[in-house]
Amino acid sequence: DAWHLAMSTASTVGWGDIVVTSNFGRFIFGIYALISAFVFARLLAAFLITPIMRQSRRQLLLDTYSQLTPTLFTRLANGIEVRTLGLTDDNATCTRDQFTLLVLIQQGIVSIDDLNEARAIFDALDADRSGFLSA
């Protein structure tokens, strides 16, 4: 009965077949109902905002990188952010992987700490220090 009452209260169905009769019970379930409504609203907002944020990031990516200008190329191949992250090899080119990592970091999808942790794991797996993993 308690589970049924809790779920009908949280879902705001309130069938009325089980009710709280004491003042203390009403107080507790009043607080429970408010918390349930807040949690539901947060979950709904998180569910709805995800596609909006994804589209916003995609549009920003298209707006920023839709055309390769000399200024943009310099920023990609030799910019301070690229050098700080260690994403450049020769300052004259920008590989697909370097570009991808830079964009993921700029969009906040991957943090610099994530990148450093992945590099540390790679280095631990790269037994011969060749820069390549092999079986």
Residue 90 reports pLDDT greater than 80: no
CA distance 11 to 32: 11
Give the Cα-Cα-Cα angle 8, 46, 7 (nearest 5 degrees).
Answer: 10
Return the closest-CA partner of residue 93 out of 112, 71, 78, 109. 78
* Residue predicted with more confidence, 124 or 37: 124
Residue 92 reports pLDDT greater than 70: yes
Average pLDDT over residues 10-29: 72
Q: What per-residue confidence (pLDDT) applies to 126?
A: 93
Q: Which residue's entry shows tokens 């697909």?
A: 96
pLDDT digits (tens, 9 = 90+) for 107-131: 888 888 998 899 899 999 998 999 8
Give the Cα-Cα-Cα angle 100, 104, 107 (nearest 5 degrees).
Answer: 140
Q: What per-residue confidence (pLDDT) applies to 94?
A: 80
pLDDT digits (tens, 9 = 90+) for 41-71: 898 888 888 888 888 888 888 888 888 888 8
Which two tokens mark 65? 């990188």
Which two tokens mark 125? 């797996």
Contact 101, 87 (CB under 8 A): yes
CB neighbour list of residue 76: distance below 8 Å, 6 or more residues apart: 82, 94, 98, 99, 102
Residues in the chain: 135
Contact 125, 119 (CB under 8 A): no
Confidence bin at 16 (pLDDT 50/70/90):
low
Contact 13, 20 (CB under 8 A): no
* Residue predicted with more confidence, 18 or 58: 58
